């Protein structure tokens, strides 16, 4: 019975975490139709994604801190309600300015699930059980980037772009009901923190000046950056270098999602029998092998399937394997402020992903060997960051 409850909580938290990436990827196939129907330029439609990401990353700093003060459950419920209203607003938009406004509102509310969810797992579970639940969330969550463009493309083709947002709004409404009925409060009243500006400033300052936390959080962000480099470079990699069509983006996303799912499964299996240091070491070996193979292959051969995509799948397996363990290490550094830890860690991850997407990808995407070198460089930086954190000898999380 307890095992069933754990899976149920993992499924709810994973669905909450999926909202953010799903609402990013699902409407990408409809960019052209949106531009035509709303009499907007491609740049203006692209700005709806940029505005969403900026709002998403900015609000991530606050979801967890607010949940430390008033509890996890109210933050989740209010955020879901806001996201549902914003998504219905997107579906009803008939001018690009309205769509931009509601995408910002979506971004402000979408990050609560993944941020507060991490804190809820560590509130409720200890040791290897926490890693197992975190890994299950990763496994389910990993489906979003793979299925969102497929569902979005089908809805856009059959019913038009409005149907994409109506579909997401419907799912959000169902999830809101499920959370209202069955999502428990995991933060005890006697463990809640003050939401005063002074208390928040002290908490953020303590974390920002803690080199161990910064290195641990940066490790997760750099590892994710290796994947995001290829996601943001996908249009050039797939169409220019591999000669594929837009409808064939699954050649990258499906293997990447499979790797994430496999890494999450391995993490859950290893949680009870292997230390954090062993798990993370194995993960870096997998990511290192993937990046070295990537550089080696493209040093001698032109890009081709499956060899250009295979390293990405192997890399995401290692990335996912390490994610739960390193995240728990970060949460345990400040056990009284787990919501704030989750917020700041998520903000660092999203911020670095933005740098990779906006700066690194445009520089490297013109060449597959440069992309491979970028992946290798991020692995090295992640390994250095993990070493500098001093947590590479960590036992199983307690």
pLDDT digits (tens, 9 = 90+) for 18-40: 888 788 778 877 888 888 999 98
Range from 102-106, 234-238, 327-331 carrying the lowest mean pLDDT: 234-238
Looking at the fold, whether 181 and 305 belong to one and the same domain comes out as no
What CATH number is associated with residue 75?
1.20.1250.20
Per the prediction, the chain carries an average pLDDT of 86
Would you call the peptide bond into 306 cis, given omega within 30 degrees of 0 as the criterion? yes
Range from 133-142, 202-211, 319-328, 359-368 carrying the lowest mean pLDDT: 133-142
Looking at the fold, whether 167 and 225 belong to one and the same domain comes out as no
What is the pLDDT, as a whole number, of residue 396?
46
Closest to 247 (Cα-Cα) out of 257, 234, 260? 234
Decide if 197 is inside a domain: no
Looking at the fold, whether 186 and 207 belong to one and the same domain comes out as no
Last residue of a domain, one of 170, 192, 214: 192
Last residue of a domain, one of 192, 210, 232: 192
Looking at the fold, whether 245 and 352 belong to one and the same domain comes out as yes
What percent of the chain has a predicted confidence (pLDDT) above 90? 38
Decide if 34 is inside a domain: yes
Q: What mean pLDDT comes out for the span 362-390? A: 93
pTM of the model: 0.81
Closest to 237 (Cα-Cα) out of 314, 294, 152? 294
Range from 2-11, 118-127, 317-326, 353-362 carrying the lowest mean pLDDT: 2-11
Closest to 80 (Cα-Cα) out of 63, 68, 61, 58? 63
Decide if 8 is inside a domain: yes
Burial label, 199 (beta-carbon count in 10 A; 0-12, 13-18, 19+): middle
Last residue of a domain, one of 134, 166, 192: 192
What is the pLDDT, as a whole number, of residue 4?
54
Looking at the fold, whether 304 and 248 belong to one and the same domain comes out as yes
Looking at the fold, whether 249 and 129 belong to one and the same domain comes out as no
How many structural domains compose the chain? 2
Distance of CA 376 to the CA centre of its chain: 21
Structure tokens at 5: 């409850």
Q: What confidence tens digit (pLDDT) does each residue in 36-83 have? A: 999 988 788 878 887 888 888 888 888 888 898 899 999 999 999 999
Q: What confidence tens digit (pLDDT) does each residue in 258-279 have? A: 898 899 889 888 887 888 889 9
Looking at the fold, whether 253 and 375 belong to one and the same domain comes out as yes
E strands along the chain, which residues? Answer: none
- Give the domain extent around 267: 202-398
* Count of beta carbons in the 10 Å neighbourhood of residue 307: 14
pLDDT-based confidence at residue 5 (cuts at 50, 70, 90): low
Distance between CA atoms of residues 121 and 98, nearest Å: 36
Looking at the fold, whether 148 and 39 belong to one and the same domain comes out as yes
Rounded to a whole number of angstroms, the CA Rg of the chain reads 20
């Amino acid at each position: 019975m307890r095992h069933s409850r754990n899976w149920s909580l993992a499924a709810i938290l994973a669905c909450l975490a999926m909202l953010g990436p799903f609402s990013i990827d699902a409407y990408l196939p409809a960019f052209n139709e949106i531009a035509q129907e709303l009499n907007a330029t491609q740049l203006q439609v692209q700005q709806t994604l940029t505005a969403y990401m900026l709002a998403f990353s900015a609000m991530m700093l606050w979801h967890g801190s607010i949940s430390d003060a008033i509890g996890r459950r109210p933050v989740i419920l209010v955020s879901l309600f806001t996201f549902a209203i914003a998504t219905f607003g997107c579906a009803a938009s008939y001018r690009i300015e309205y769509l931009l406004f509601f995408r910002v509102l979506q971004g402000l509310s979408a990050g609560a699930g993944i941020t507060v969810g991490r804190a809820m797992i560590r509130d409720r579970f200890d040791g290897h059980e926490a890693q197992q639940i975190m890994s299950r969330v990763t496994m389910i969550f990993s489906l979003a980037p793979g299925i969102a463009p497929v569902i979005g493309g089908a809805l856009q083709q059959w019913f038009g772009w409005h149907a994409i947002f109506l579909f997401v709004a419907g799912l959000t409404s169902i999830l809101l009901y499920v959370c209202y009925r069955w999502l428990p409060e995991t933060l005890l009243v006697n463990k809640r923190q003050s939401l005063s500006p002074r208390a928040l400033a002290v908490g953020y300052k303590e974390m920002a000046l803690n080199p161990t936390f910064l290195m641990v959080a940066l490790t997760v962000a750099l590892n994710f950056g290796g994947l995001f480099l290829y996601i943001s470079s996908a249009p050039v990699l797939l169409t220019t270098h591999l000669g594929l069509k837009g409808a064939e983006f699954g050649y990258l996303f499906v293997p990447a999602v499979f790797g994430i799912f496999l890494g999450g499964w391995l993490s859950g299996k290893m949680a009870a029998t292997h230390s954090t240091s062993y798990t993370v070491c194995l993960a870096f070996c997998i990511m290192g092998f993937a990046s070295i193979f990537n550089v080696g292959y493209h040093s001698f051969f032109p890009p081709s399937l499956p060899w250009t995509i295979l390293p990405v799948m192997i890399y995401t397996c290692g990335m996912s394997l390490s994610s739960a363990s390193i995240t728990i290490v970060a949460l345990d550094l400040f056990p009284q402020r787990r919501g704030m830890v989750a917020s700041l860690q998520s903000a660092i991850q999203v911020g670095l992903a933005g740098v990779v997407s906006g700066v690194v990808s445009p520089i490297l995407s013109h060449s597959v060997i440069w992309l491979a070198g970028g992946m290798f460089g991020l692995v090295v930086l992640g390994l250095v960051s993990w070493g500098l954190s001093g947590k590479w000898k960590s036992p199983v999380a307690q």
